[in-house]
């Protein structure tokens, strides 16, 4: 847990008037860093956010599954890895779900909720509720290469590069995309 970054983000919310100082202090007082999973025995949800490394994610999920209570949601913040692979070494396949936050997570509103064929309906509903509670826009998607957002981003990016190869000006591409409604173009 990167406490200095979390503290800075919360203080930023206070300085912009989006959070009162009292609520910020309360939120920060609830943070607790741990160096092992022993205190995960009474949590309702775990969101793993390590690098995109299948064996590492599998190891984490097989370890936390043994400690977390049976109702605990086991979420991964992966942006591309097949969730069936992530949960392959667990007995809790019905609790495995994707919680793909977009960077920077404290600013971007979308929460891509990735379900597998084995993810229980209750786990999906619980994560949707969490998403709404933290003021995200939860979108439930299936477990496929790139999920929904990256699956559309890859051809978008490839098309922009094709236009450059055809001689279209980079700045023109960004202007057109921005005027279409995207916050930024592919090269900004």
Q: Indicate which residues carry an active-site annotation.
A: 100
Q: Which residues contact 160 (CB under 8 A, 6 or more apart)?
A: 173, 177, 185, 186, 187
| DSSP notation for the chain | --HHHHHHHHHHHHHTTSS-HHHHHHHHHT----SSSGGGGG-SEEEE---S-HHHHHHHHHHHHHHS-TT-EEEE--SSS-HHHHTTT-S-GGGEEEEEEPSSTTT--EEEEEE-SSS-HHHHHHHHHHHHHTT-EEEEEESSTTTTHHHHHHHHHHHHHHHHHTT--HHHHHHHHHHHT-SS-TT-
């Amino acid at each position: 847990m990167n406490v200095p970054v979390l503290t800075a983000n919360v203080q930023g919310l206070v300085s912009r008037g989006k959070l009162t100082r009292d609520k910020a202090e309360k939120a920060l007082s609830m943070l607790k860093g741990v160096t092992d999973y022993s205190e995960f025995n009474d949590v309702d949800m775990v969101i793993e956010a390590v690098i995109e490394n299948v064996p590492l994610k599998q190891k984490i999920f097989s370890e936390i599954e043994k400690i977390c209570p049976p109702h605990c949601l086991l979420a991964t913040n992966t942006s591309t890895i097949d969730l069936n692979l992530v949960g392959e070494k667990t007995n809790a396949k019905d609790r495995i779900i994707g919680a793909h936050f977009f960077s920077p997570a404290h600013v971007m509103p979308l929460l891509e909720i990735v379900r597998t064929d084995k993810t229980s309906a209750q786990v999906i509903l619980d994560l949707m509720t969490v998403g709404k509670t933290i003021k995200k826009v939860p979108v439930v998607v299936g477990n496929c290469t790139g999920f929904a957002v990256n699956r559309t981003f890859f051809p978008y990016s490839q098309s922009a590069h094709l236009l450059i190869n055809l001689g279209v000006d980079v700045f023109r591409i960004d202007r057109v995309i921005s005027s279409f409604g995207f916050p930024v173009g592919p090269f900004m």
